[in-house]
Structure 1
């Protein structure tokens, strides 16, 4: 518990933590702005075009912001200690080393579990409030029917936080870890979408963005992602994104000098 308290003090004593958390919550405002813009475009469209108008699920669009922000927070929690040299003091005080990584994982994972639902559910609710029954009732379905997908999408945020922590420990550099996470969100899905089948479908099925719908048994037919995994396998892949870097980091931290 003393290690956990010490690591929590480190996280909450730097201003960057609050800035990153604030930017993450800003996803709700971004979702609100997109919903208002979409509603305006719908209302100004000719009546005969409105029945065919469609809109992406805004909570799945803006979740990229808290994903990256929490991933960056996880990276900084670890990499910043290497940059400042504080890691030497930390590992000297905790010779077994792995409790340090476990405490950091508990903290950033918990923060991700708070930010994820707050941004995903918040974006959905404000979008539902603004859009009403526009776009063929895309946001008029019962809320209970949306809960499984919203919950699965929310889980990707703490996964990114733990992924960032693991990568920060592996590379001991924020730049490299952040580049990998940005690639997972922006670059790799575009590349996969241009790969010939069946590899586009196969690789797309294991990308983080395509896992929430597979976890609840839905298809990703309208996106660049694949839909080949059963729910249990999709959940296991999502967990692996967080667990594998942390396991590798724990192994390396115990063997490095610092």
Structure 2
């Protein structure tokens, strides 16, 4: 298994698209810095009587969609590129049991997703906090230790997306199809759910990946478009399911379907 993981790591780091995707993911930190500077300027130029009511969304929670989507694409390409080039036949010939190939890809992609997720979420939080200070009624005045559970839960959605992309790529064998689903989960589905009548809007919204971090930490999503009906344990289970279920289905299909 170690040799298979090493082989998959070599495949991932030998293509330029990996470095482009990683750069775009980490670009969320610079985007967060730019937005924080802009927000600070708007706050400082606002009339004093309006400043107490000024609010800002946590930028790390908003911008996490950048590494989510990027790492989801990386996970997709890790599988679909082999089908496009025919390399998958060689891989499955060398590893006839098949499932270790997908498991090794999951280990590599998941690890990269965890590193990128932590770097972008914590990096965005730190630069935003350094710029905004106690503006916006102290939105960034909370200590890092108090924010640690939420930041950690938010960062874990990135490897979940990476593994989701890998699973979708293995199931669909189509880069365009898998990326369309990933983009839909980030942008389209939340808007659709937001327009569904209650109580289904909140029920379905609670299941969206963007709603899970605050439910995992018990903070709730009172000021967001998402619902907040799940217990911390249930929200954690849903997050795991986003990553695990497509991979399990892909493993079952890989063992029964020709390359």
Distance 1:231 1:160 in 2: 19
| Deviations 1:103-137, CA, capped at 9 Å, x for gaps | 00000000011001100000000000000110011
Pairing 1:214-225 to 2, within 5 Å after superposition:
214-225=215-226
Distance 1:133 1:41 in 2: 14
Matched, 1:35 2:36: yes
Q: TM-score, normalised by structure 2?
A: 0.99
| Deviations 1:225-258, CA, capped at 9 Å, x for gaps | 1000000000000000000000000000001110
Matched, 1:203 2:204: yes
Give the 3-state SS of the residue equivalent to 2:49 in structure 1: coil
Residue in structure 1 matched with residue 113 of structure 2 by the alignment: 112
| Deviations 1:114-169, CA, capped at 9 Å, x for gaps | 00110000000000000011001100112111111000000000000000000000
Residue in structure 1 matched with residue 232 of structure 2 by the alignment: 231
Count of residue correspondences: 258
Distance 2:217 2:41 in 1: 32
Pairing 1:170-189 to 2, within 5 Å after superposition:
170-189=171-190
How far 1:218 sits from its partner (Å)?
1.3
Q: TM-score, normalised by structure 1?
A: 0.99
Structure 1 runs not aligned, ≥5 long: none
Residue in structure 2 matched with residue 10 of structure 1 by the alignment: 11
Give the 3-state SS of the residue equivalent to 1:48 in structure 2: helix
Residue in structure 2 matched with residue 145 of structure 1 by the alignment: 146
Give the 3-state SS of the residue equivalent to 1:49 in structure 2: helix
Following TM superposition, the consecutive aligned residue runs of length 4 or more in structure 1 with deviations greater than 3 angstroms are: none
Distance 1:37 1:174 in 2: 36
Residue in structure 2 matched with residue 135 of structure 1 by the alignment: 136
Residue in structure 2 matched with residue 62 of structure 1 by the alignment: 63
How far 1:2 sits from its partner (Å)?
1.1
Distance 2:220 2:91 in 1: 46
Distance 1:253 1:164 in 2: 16
Matched, 1:44 2:45: yes
Distance 2:244 2:73 in 1: 17
Structure 2 runs not aligned, ≥5 long: none
How far 1:200 sits from its partner (Å)?
0.3
Residue in structure 1 matched with residue 122 of structure 2 by the alignment: 121
RMSD between aligned alpha carbons? Answer: 0.5
